[in-house]
Amino acid sequence: MRIVLTAFLIHLFSLGAMAQQPDLILTNGKIFTSDTSQLYVQALAIKDGRITAIGQTADIEKLASPKTKRIDLGGMLVVPGFNDAHNHLPGGLKATKIASTGMNPSWEAVLDSLKRAVQRTPEGQWIEGTIGITIANSPEATRFVLDKIAPRHPVRLLSWWGHVGVYNTLGLREMGIADDQPDPKGGFYERMPDGKTLTGKGYEKNAYWPHTSYAKMAALRDENAMIGEFRGMTQALLKAGITSYQNMCTGATAADYARIWKKAGLPFRLRLIRWGDMNTDGSLSIPAKDQPKTTPDLPLLTVSGTKWLLEGTPLEGGAEQVDPYPNRPGWYGRMNYTVPEIERMCQEAIARKDQLHFHIGGSKSIGKLLDLMAAMPVDWKALRPRFEHGDEIDYSPEYLKKAQNMGVIIVQNPTHFAPMEGFPMGPPSTHGMAMKTLLTNHIPLAIGSDGPFNPYLNIMFATTHPRRPSEAISREQAVIAYTRTAAYAEFAENTKGTLTVGKVADLVVLSQNIFKVPAPKLLQTESVLTMVNGKVVYDAGLLKIN
């Protein structure tokens, strides 16, 4: 007993000594901790990459030694590093990109850009473009039209939200797709009136990499270009104050991303979430399933969780709804998998103790999934299942109750609240895209951008909510969702997410007080100083480190 007590006292003394001699202190600031028990402090101390003390400036200054470096914040706002809980790193084709014509270009404009791309692209090389809502839902957008313009170039036109793709005939053949290819599990092809011949339009998994092996995908990627894009993104991310990025592995496997990330050598935290698939025989395919969670040579990278694309989105009519789509009488959407198939996904994850991420948003599909989960003898709270988007979770009070009881985490995407060209907002909704309701019902709410990764844009939409103003949350709640709850959503709340003692020193000093400025001015916010593990990874040069 004496030995244990002595060891304990030595441990306390060591902690005290560590706190007495920080490597760095930040003082005279307005530090938002994201910890609701003490939301604001003036100063903090850092040693060996972790926060060792927080409090008033006078108290923190007493801890400093002659070797301690200092940053006088001069009243500036500090927040935990933002954690984008849902986004997608690039992983595209080796392709000529056709000229951008906006978020919702006309078919004529895209075809005109394609003609110009054909003229400057060697035969046999891929050409790729982006389409919006109008083309994705247009019956005129077929491979036969593309074939007339680009008969000798494989072509892919991918919707900016990723759930619809249009290929020409050569593009399908390059992907190994026959003219009458059967639908695989988890994806659909649009067909001609004969019910067999493909129009060239694919949905869900068929949109991005239709019926193609990961080996084939790897052969079609330009990894050097990806490394360049990652390095270019890094400066933008760190300048925005994003220190953690949770990547849904759409364009490559987690193993591929880890290898490419190592080559890029980037200084912020990356979580790789596997992308699950189902083979034609109903067996599950989870690339990089055995990839270790962490490796010594990539200390800022983790691999965990598996995402399942259970349905599409309302933009192309893919999310399964209780009520029919207003613009498509008699159409309710559809799920990509049956309930027994989804149960198989759940059982597999339970056996591995792996976190489940479900892409799901429809009012009917969410009910089906919650009913399935509730019927399974599982402690879901321990597994922290995530509904990515979960837009219609508040369609029914019963849904909210079940989600709360099972510890479901909703990862919401405020940029989706913005008006979209070609998709009218209509009258104020009575349900969908909830935020305030989730917090009221004690359902964990995390924020992921799933698009532009500007935190201040997402905070603006979360706190104004153009589609449903009654669901707007406060700016403090939005920052907590973007930091503390986002860390909880990846089982990392003991490591990061708050500026409290023992957590890693991932923080950002902001150019203005985002809790005070008018909403439109939020977009003018930038990082003045971004730190990861107590190290400066972005510095605008406005603060002195003495």
**pLDDT at 428 (0 to 100):** 66
Strands (E), 231-328: 242-248, 269-275, 277-278, 284-285, 301-309
> How far is residue 184's CA from residue 186's CA, in Å, rounded to a whole number?
6
Residue 383 pLDDT greater than 60, yes or no = yes
Asked whether the beta carbons of 27 and 71 are under 8 A apart, the reply is yes
Architecture label for domain 223-507: Alpha-Beta Barrel (3.20)
**pLDDT at 19 (0 to 100):** 46
> How far is residue 481's CA from residue 448's CA, in Å, rounded to a whole number?
9
> How far is residue 368's CA from residue 366's CA, in Å, rounded to a whole number?
5
**pLDDT at 20 (0 to 100):** 62
**pLDDT at 168 (0 to 100):** 97
- Please tell me which residue, 92 or 465, carries the higher pLDDT value: 465
Q: Report the Cα–Cα distance between both ends of the chain, in Å, rounded.
A: 46
pTM check: above 0.85: yes
For the chain, what is the mean pLDDT? 93
* Type of residue found at 270: L
477-530 confidence digits (pLDDT tens): 999 999 999 999 999 999 999 999 999 999 999 999 999 999 999 999 999 999
Question: Structure tokens of 232?
Answer: 């270019």
17-57 confidence digits (pLDDT tens): 444 699 999 999 999 999 999 999 999 999 999 999 999 99
Asked whether the beta carbons of 198 and 177 are under 8 A apart, the reply is yes
**pLDDT grade, residue 102 (50/70/90)?**
confident
**pLDDT at 251 (0 to 100):** 81
Residue 80 β-bridge partners: 507
**pLDDT at 213 (0 to 100):** 67
Tokens 């290898």 correspond to 259
267-326 confidence digits (pLDDT tens): 999 999 999 999 989 999 999 999 999 999 999 999 999 999 999 999 999 999 999 998
Asked whether the beta carbons of 348 and 300 are under 8 A apart, the reply is no
CB atoms within 10 A of CB 7: 10
**pLDDT at 93 (0 to 100):** 78
- Please tell me which residue, 7 or 172, carries the higher pLDDT value: 172
> How far is residue 418's CA from residue 455's CA, in Å, rounded to a whole number?
14
223-265 confidence digits (pLDDT tens): 888 999 999 999 999 999 999 999 999 888 999 999 999 999 9
196-210 confidence digits (pLDDT tens): 999 999 999 888 776
Each domain of the chain, given as residue ranges in start order, spans 2-72, 95-219, 223-507
**pLDDT grade, residue 427 (50/70/90)?**
low
> How far is residue 160's CA from residue 88's CA, in Å, rounded to a whole number?
12
Question: Structure tokens of 206?
Answer: 């068929």
> How far is residue 428's CA from residue 426's CA, in Å, rounded to a whole number?
7
Fold of 95-219: Diaminopimelate Epimerase; Chain A, domain 1 (3.10.310)
Domain 2-72 identical in fold to domain 223-507: no
Mean pLDDT for 126-131 is: 95
Fold of 2-72: Urease, subunit C; domain 1 (2.30.40)
**pLDDT at 306 (0 to 100):** 97
**pLDDT at 215 (0 to 100):** 72
- Please tell me which residue, 9 or 256, carries the higher pLDDT value: 256
Tokens 């619809």 correspond to 164
Tokens 């759409």 correspond to 250
